[in-house]
Structure 1
């Protein structure tokens, strides 16, 4: 059986757990997590905007 190279293994996706111990993380890993969290914040804000838009449209329809 051939040995599996590390490059062939699936990459573990960076994840962040709120309150996680950060002492063992490098600056690069911390920056990656900040980017991940910023992307998630943008995704959440976009969903809020979409839901507010839908709600406003429904409210204006039923006020007529």
Structure 2
């Protein structure tokens, strides 16, 4: 049945502060994996932005 299949699908995300008691350990591990991947993506973007800032500072001097 389609409804049962939809209920079994994993969540595609995680809402900060959501209730965790009804979520299985496997699903919690899956959410941790998703969040760690997102953290890595955010850190990479921070590094990219900081490198751009350093390049600009080397050309134009630091901002006051």
* Alignment partner, residue 19 of structure 2: 21
The structure with more helix, counted as a fraction of residues = 2
TM-score by length of 2: 0.78
Alpha carbon RMSD of aligned pairs, Å? 2.0
Runs of 4+ in structure 1 over 6 Å off: none
2:54 corresponding residue in structure 1: 56
Pair member with larger Rg = 1
Corresponding residue of 2:34: 36
Contiguous gaps of at least 5 residues in structure 2: none
Supply the distance in 1 between the matched residues of 2:40 and 2:10 (Cα, whole angstroms).
23
* Count of aligned positions: 57
Residue 18 of structure 1: CA displacement?
Answer: 0.3
